[in-house]
Amino acid sequence: MSAALAVAERPSLAQRLTMVVGDSITITRRNVIKIRRVPDVLIFSTLSPIMFVLLFAYVFGSSIKVQGTSYREFLIAGIFAQTVVFGATFTGLSLAEDMQKGIIDRFRSLPMAPSAVLIGRTLSDVVINVVSLVVMSLTGLVVGWRIRGSFLDAMLAYVLLLLFAYAVSWIMAVVGLLVRVPEVYNNASFMVIFPLTFIANTFVPTANLPTVLRVVAEWNPVSAVTQATRDLFGNTSPMAPSADVWPMRHPVATTLVWIAVILAIFVPLALNQYRRSVSR
């Protein structure tokens, strides 16, 4: 009788999914309100990419040559990719801070889906990247960047950037849950972010790199999303050397594959690490 009662009280799959969605929306709203009340996070997250644009466009731009197009148009897609990847690091930092301050313990005491904490955190950080992309687009227009492709292609480029950033945020969630203090997270995250964003085609053509680094850059997921963004924005030239590797010939498809692979690996890892972290 008691076993039958327990089975009857167990929520169905639809009820569990509804709970996860509702709780995730609530956590997302909480994190967005936090951003609004602490605007310093948003301000400094947009100032950094602006600095990169001005630095590379006006200081290094005259020394770097890109065949068939101006360096400033070549640069902006790379800055976009770097910006959204750096924006994804807020996921891990916020989780590390919430763990240290005991916020996660308060969530555990509530009748909510545990996965909602991570889903809400990663979704709310998309807001930071949306604002950053808007600011970056305006800055790019000031320094001479233009969208040469169609409106739909440009929208697809922005969507790819946000989807890629969302996938990377799950990597950062794992890192944030692994470290014990937020101060360690900064160093740990940079060990992941810097190779991804600099051994790539973000700031220089891969043809200019040494052989080993060129191979790494051509298969780097950041290179794929950067090249896809350039192609969709129309910031490439038929005069540029043709790519001889599959990821650079099909950057949009490669980006989508990387997004799927990253999510398939790191979403379960993050959820598992979250369960282990909260049970310490």
Find, among 123, 116, 103, the residue nearest to 16 by Cα.
Answer: 116
Whether 100 is in a domain gets the answer yes
SS3 assignment, position 249: helix
Q: pLDDT (tens digit, 0 to 9) for every residue of the chain, 280 residues total?
A: 444 434 445 677 777 778 788 888 888 888 778 777 777 777 777 787 788 888 877 877 767 777 777 888 888 899 899 989 988 888 888 888 888 777 777 777 777 788 888 998 899 888 888 988 988 898 888 888 899 989 999 999 999 999 999 999 999 999 988 887 777 888 888 888 888 899 999 988 888 889 899 999 999 999 999 999 999 999 987 666 667 899 999 999 999 999 999 999 999 999 999 888 777 6
Q: What phi and psi, each to the nearest 5 degrees, are found at residue 36?
A: -65, -35
SS3 assignment, position 65: coil
The pLDDT assigned to 9 comes to: 57
Cα angle vertex 98, ends 95, 101, to 5°? 150
The pLDDT assigned to 231 comes to: 93
Alpha carbons 40 and 224: distance in angstroms, whole number: 31
Question: Do residues 229 and 160 make contact, with C-beta atoms less than 8 angstroms apart?
Answer: yes
Non-local CB neighbours of 130 within 8 Å, separated by 6+ positions: 162
The pLDDT assigned to 2 comes to: 45
Alpha carbons 173 and 6: distance in angstroms, whole number: 34
Whether 241 is in a domain gets the answer yes
The pLDDT assigned to 80 comes to: 92
CB atoms within 10 A of CB 38: 10
Tokens of 13: 């799959």
Non-local CB neighbours of 124 within 8 Å, separated by 6+ positions: 27, 28, 30, 31, 32, 35
Whether 2 is in a domain gets the answer no
Find, among 121, 105, 117, 93, the residue nearest to 179 by Cα.
Answer: 93
Whether 43 is in a domain gets the answer yes
Whether 27 is in a domain gets the answer yes
Match 């996070």 to its residue by tokens: 41
Residue 213 belongs to domain spanning:
14-278
Orientation of helix 71-101 relative to helix 182-198, angle to 10°: 160
**Domains of the chain: total:** 1
The pLDDT assigned to 3 comes to: 44
The pLDDT assigned to 240 comes to: 67
Whether 221 is in a domain gets the answer yes
Whether 8 is in a domain gets the answer no
The pLDDT assigned to 251 comes to: 95
Alpha carbons 40 and 274: distance in angstroms, whole number: 27
Cα angle vertex 101, ends 42, 98, to 5°? 50
Question: Do residues 43 and 132 make contact, with C-beta atoms less than 8 angstroms apart?
Answer: no
Alpha carbons 112 and 58: distance in angstroms, whole number: 51
Tokens of 226: 């950067």
Whether 132 is in a domain gets the answer yes
Tokens of 267: 């979403």
Question: Do residues 45 and 128 make contact, with C-beta atoms less than 8 angstroms apart?
Answer: yes
